[in-house]
């Protein structure tokens, strides 16, 4: 036999001259082989070849039961090609062997091959049964082969299996997966007593169609009829809560999970962590995480990504270090969350060294990983390395192109970003809304009003893209920064959608640049209406009142904040040194090197005053003495971070600082002089701009 050639080294006698064993010995050998298959489970390929050789040597090739055990073991060990060869050499396979082969191919993700085997099964005259059809329908669903699935549907009806709950559930999954949710619902409604699997299938169908509220309603109905969901159902429903941002429904499901003692299931608990993280409740996510008796790499990755996306990048980094201490190997998803945190912190060294924990080829062949690395380098100001990663990537999707275009834009390389957009079009990819956000930001940096207008109008006229509120925000920013405040205000009035905080914030920034106090006051009042809990808007309006000497109105605004329980978000800056991120707050004296830091600030203050520096005290929102205002300005968080960088980094090294709020006018002027005094490049990224200081000058670029 051809199949036995690989096994002949293990046999001592040629198969052609094998002597049949006595019946008693043969029966014992069969029982021994059966016991071996049951006890070894996923045996190695070599051991399975030994077992196959023994079957051949004992001339048991017609024993379908033994062959079925061998076939199943080959599929479970991952050798589906060898299993298919074995199946093809069986002269008259029974229905159990056909089902094992179809199931094995489906489990090995060989969808087309499984369907070809089903077609061969029909041509051979073998009638499929209720174990065959679920796997055939699953293969059809996975490759969205609706037409063939409908033929299978007709065939199973002829076989009288249309009432079988497992077959019907597989049909339901097929129609839902292929977008025919009405057919899926009709099949579900025909079931007299749908199983938990059937309920999970229809809930998943609604979920994948984006009908999340309906899916959640089905889950409530499932509980009302007295069925207890399994872990798969709960994972799906928690995912729905995550997408809806419905933490209240998530909390109710959490209580149900605790009542049923399912919180120890690592998949369910991880889904709970993910749900709370995506709803912005990291405190509850951390509670669930700490109570888990077992955590896998997915759970750790969820926590790292959750802290990063919810504005706690430093905690995300700490969580990653804790993960390493517990000897959990990071995967691609962990790395994406960590690189995102490094991008937010400006932690270039940490991001670069952390990326070395995975094979470099993974970043080049995996678009998600490569894009995260590009984004990290670009947001840390190292656009050259970001470009090198982009060029070396083996596979680039549209998100990768968009990340590179935006990276070039935020680093001021306007012409290069335009050139890359032209390459994107030539590559055959169709740009989306995010592509144009990057292009419009490039136009803003370079003050290219006409080019920005051309790109904005081409979205609808050439690419059939409807501009969203973010694109209007970019245009308002472009027009406003170019001094066309009237045009920017008119564009807001003409918008087909209601202007949001992004749009009014863009207008406010332009008003501050061009000192239009009246329009700035109007923009701030709109922002306070849109974001009544955002302390930053109140502070900016108070600063506006303070700068024009309107102290009574500034005090009234502060009282309003106190009455509403709105606290000013403290200024916080981060600077990286030797792979460690150091955090500073305004007036902070908790750092181990605080004596040296404040001494350095005092030294810099004297040198700056000798160069003519005068503190911009009108940005201080309190009506206090001038000396107190100067002291408050001198200890802003970004100044402390820069002073630490100056005393820690090697001479000539660039200092990169990230701040959670806007850099004030005084700090901006002071850092210009510090860059000249220290002969250093200082890059400060606040919550919406890059400020690159070199030799007493500064280039500012929007950060989106």
Q: What is the CATH number of the domain that holds 528?
A: 1.25.40.10
Residue 544 — pLDDT band, cuts 50, 70, 90? confident
Between these two residues, 199 and 532, which has the higher pLDDT value?
A: 199
Phi and psi at residue 85, to the nearest 5°? -60, -45
Whether residue 345 contacts residue 658, with contact meaning beta carbons closer than 8 Å, is answered with yes
Same domain, 514 and 417: no
Same domain, 417 and 489: no
The reported pLDDT for the residue numbered 7 is: 40
pLDDT at residue 48 tops 80: no
Domain assignment present for residue 586? The answer is yes
Domain assignment present for residue 601? The answer is yes
Cα first-last separation, the chain? 67
- Picking from 695, 670, 604, the residue whose alpha carbon sits closest to that of residue 643 is 604
3-state SS, one letter per residue, for 569-633: CCCEEEEEECCEEEEEECCCCCCCCHHHHHHHHHHHHHHHHHCCCCCCHHHCCCCCCHHHHHHHH
Span 369-394, average pLDDT: 93
Domain, as residue range, for 418 = 396-457
Domain assignment present for residue 343? The answer is no
Residue 644 — pLDDT band, cuts 50, 70, 90? very high
Span 369-381, average pLDDT: 93
Q: In what order do the strands lie in the sheet with 580-585?
A: 580-585, 572-577, 655-659, 681-685, 689-694, 697-702
Same domain, 578 and 474: no
Span 634-654, average pLDDT: 87
Of 508, 539, 569, which one is at a domain's C-terminal end?
A: 569
Query: d(Cα 451, Cα 368) in Å, to the nearest integer?
Result: 31
Q: Within a 10 A sphere around the Cβ of 256, how many other Cβ atoms?
A: 15
Span 331-335, average pLDDT: 93
Same domain, 165 and 75: yes
Query: d(Cα 426, Cα 440) in Å, to the nearest integer?
Result: 20
- Read off the tokens for 171: 């049909």
pLDDT at residue 214 tops 70: yes
Residue 43 — pLDDT band, cuts 50, 70, 90? low
Whether residue 270 contacts residue 299, with contact meaning beta carbons closer than 8 Å, is answered with yes
Domain assignment present for residue 273? The answer is no
Q: Is the dihedral of CA 186, 190, 191, 193 positive or negative?
A: positive
Query: d(Cα 644, Cα 591) in Å, to the nearest integer?
Result: 10
The reported pLDDT for the residue numbered 616 is: 66
Mean pLDDT score of the chain: 84
Query: d(Cα 667, Cα 618) in Å, to the nearest integer?
Result: 13
pLDDT at residue 12 tops 60: no
Span 684-698, average pLDDT: 76
Of 531, 548, 569, which one is at a domain's C-terminal end?
A: 569
Output b/e per residue, 598-619; b: 16+ Cβ within 10 A.
Answer: bebbeebbeebeeeebebbbeb
Query: d(Cα 362, Cα 393) in Å, to the nearest integer?
Result: 10
Question: Dihedral through CA 379, CA 384, CA 385, CA 391, nearest 10?
Answer: 110
- Picking from 659, 671, 665, the residue whose alpha carbon sits closest to that of residue 605 is 671
Domain assignment present for residue 564? The answer is yes
The reported pLDDT for the residue numbered 334 is: 94
Domain assignment present for residue 262? The answer is no
pLDDT digits 0-9 by tens, 443-474: 988 889 999 999 999 999 999 999 999 999 99
Domain assignment present for residue 33? The answer is no
Query: d(Cα 460, Cα 442) in Å, to the nearest integer?
Result: 19
Q: Within a 10 A sphere around the Cβ of 221, how many other Cβ atoms?
A: 12
The reported pLDDT for the residue numbered 40 is: 57
- In the beta sheet, which residues pair with residue 656? 683
The reported pLDDT for the residue numbered 39 is: 58
Determine what percent of the chain is predicted with pLDDT higher than 70. 88
Number of domains the chain contains: 4
Residue 32 — pLDDT band, cuts 50, 70, 90? low
Between these two residues, 543 and 672, which has the higher pLDDT value?
A: 672
Of 522, 546, 569, which one is at a domain's C-terminal end?
A: 569
pLDDT at residue 515 tops 90: no
Same domain, 403 and 533: no
Span 528-548, average pLDDT: 77
Query: d(Cα 480, Cα 580) in Å, to the nearest integer?
Result: 39
The reported pLDDT for the residue numbered 27 is: 56
The reported pLDDT for the residue numbered 14 is: 32
Same domain, 60 and 171: yes
Query: d(Cα 26, Cα 673) in Å, to the nearest integer?
Result: 94
Q: What distances in angstroms separate CA 259 from CA 253, 262, 270, one per listed residue? A: 10, 8, 17
- Report helix, strand or coil for 692: strand
Query: d(Cα 538, Cα 562) in Å, to the nearest integer?
Result: 11
């Amino acid at each position: 036999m051809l199949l036995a050639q690989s096994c002949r080294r293990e046999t001592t006698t040629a198969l052609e001259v094998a002597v049949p064993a006595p019946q008693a010995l043969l029966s014992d050998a069969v029982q021994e082989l059966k016991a071996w298959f049951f006890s070894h489970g996923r045996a190695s390929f070599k051991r399975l070849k030994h077992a196959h050789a023994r079957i051949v040597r004992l001339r048991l090739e017609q024993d379908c039961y033994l062959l079925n055990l061998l076939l199943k073991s080959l599929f479970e060990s991952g050798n589906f090609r060898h299993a298919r060869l074995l199946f093809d050499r069986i002269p008259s396979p029974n229905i159990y062997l056909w089902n094992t082969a179809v199931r094995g191919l489906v489990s090995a993700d060989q969808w087309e091959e499984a369907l070809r085997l089903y077609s061969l099964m029909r041509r051979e005259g073998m009638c499929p049964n209720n174990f065959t059809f679920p796997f055939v329908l699953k293969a059809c669903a996975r490759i969205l082969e609706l037409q063939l699935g409908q033929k299978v549907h007709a065939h199973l009806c002829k076989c009288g299996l249309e009432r079988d709950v497992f077959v019907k559930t597989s049909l339901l999954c097929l129609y839902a997966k292929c977008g025919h949710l009405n057919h899926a619902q009709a099949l579900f409604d025909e079931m007299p007593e749908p199983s938990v699997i059937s309920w999970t299938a229809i809930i998943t169908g609604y979920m994948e169609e984006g009908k999340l509220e309906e899916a959640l309603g089905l889950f409530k109905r499932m509980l009302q009829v007295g069925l207890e969901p399994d872990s798969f159902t709960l994972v799906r429903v928690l995912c729905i809560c995550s997408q809806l941002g419905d933490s209240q429904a998530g909390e109710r499901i959490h209580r149900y999970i605790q009542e049923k003692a399912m919180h120890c299931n690592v998949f369910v608990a991880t889904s709970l962590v993910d749900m709370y993280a995506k709803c912005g409740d990291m405190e509850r996510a951390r509670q669930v995480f700490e109570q888990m008796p077992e955590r896998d790499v997915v759970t750790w990755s969820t926590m790292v990504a959750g802290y990063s996306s919810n504005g706690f990048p430093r905690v995300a980094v700490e969580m990653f270090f804790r993960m390493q201490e517990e000897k959990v190997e990071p995967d691609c998803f962990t790395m994406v969350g960590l690189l995102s945190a490094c991008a937010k912190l400006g932690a270039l060294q940490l991001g670069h060294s952390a990326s070395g924990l995975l094979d470099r080829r993974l970043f080049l062949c995996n678009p998600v990983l490569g894009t995260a690395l590009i984004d990290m380098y670009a947001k840390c100001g190292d656009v050259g390395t970001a470009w090198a990663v982009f060029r070396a990537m083996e596979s680039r999707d549209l998100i990768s192109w968009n990340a590179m275009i935006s990276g070039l834009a935020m680093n001021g390389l306007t012409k290069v970003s335009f050139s890359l957009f032209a390459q994107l079009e030539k590559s055959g990819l169709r740009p989306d809304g995010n592509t144009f956000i990057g292009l419009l930001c490039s136009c803003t940096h370079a003050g290219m009003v006409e080019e920005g207008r051309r790109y904005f109008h081409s979205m609808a006229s050439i690419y059939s893209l409807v501009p969203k509120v973010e694109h209007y925000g970019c245009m308002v920013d472009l027009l406003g920064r170019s001094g066309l405040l009237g045009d920017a205000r008119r564009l807001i009035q003409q918008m087909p959608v209601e202007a949001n905080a992004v749009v009014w914030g863009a207008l406010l920034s332009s008003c501050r640049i061009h000192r239009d106090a009246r329009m700035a006051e109007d923009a701030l009042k709109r922002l306070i209406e849109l974001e009544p809990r955002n302390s930053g808007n109140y502070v900016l309006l108070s600063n506006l009142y303070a700068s024009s000497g309107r102290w009574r109105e500034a005090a009234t605004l502060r009282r309003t904040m106190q009455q509403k329980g709105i606290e000013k978000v403290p200024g916080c800056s981060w600077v990286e040194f030797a792979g460690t991120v150091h955090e500073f707050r305004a007036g902070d004296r908790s750092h181990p090197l605080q004596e040296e830091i404040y001494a350095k600030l005092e030294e810099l203050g004297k040198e700056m005053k000798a160069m003519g520096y005068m503190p911009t005290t009108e940005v201080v929102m309190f009506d206090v003495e001038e000396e107190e205002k100067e002291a408050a300005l001198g200890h802003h968080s970004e100044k402390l971070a820069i002073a630490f960088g100056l005393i820690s980094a090697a001479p000539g090294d660039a200092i990169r600082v990230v701040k959670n709020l806007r850099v004030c006018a005084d700090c901006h002027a002071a850092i210009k002089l510090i860059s000249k005094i220290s002969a250093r490049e200082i890059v400060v990224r606040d919550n919406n701009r890059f400020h690159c200081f070199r030799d007493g000058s500064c280039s500012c670029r929007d950060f989106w």
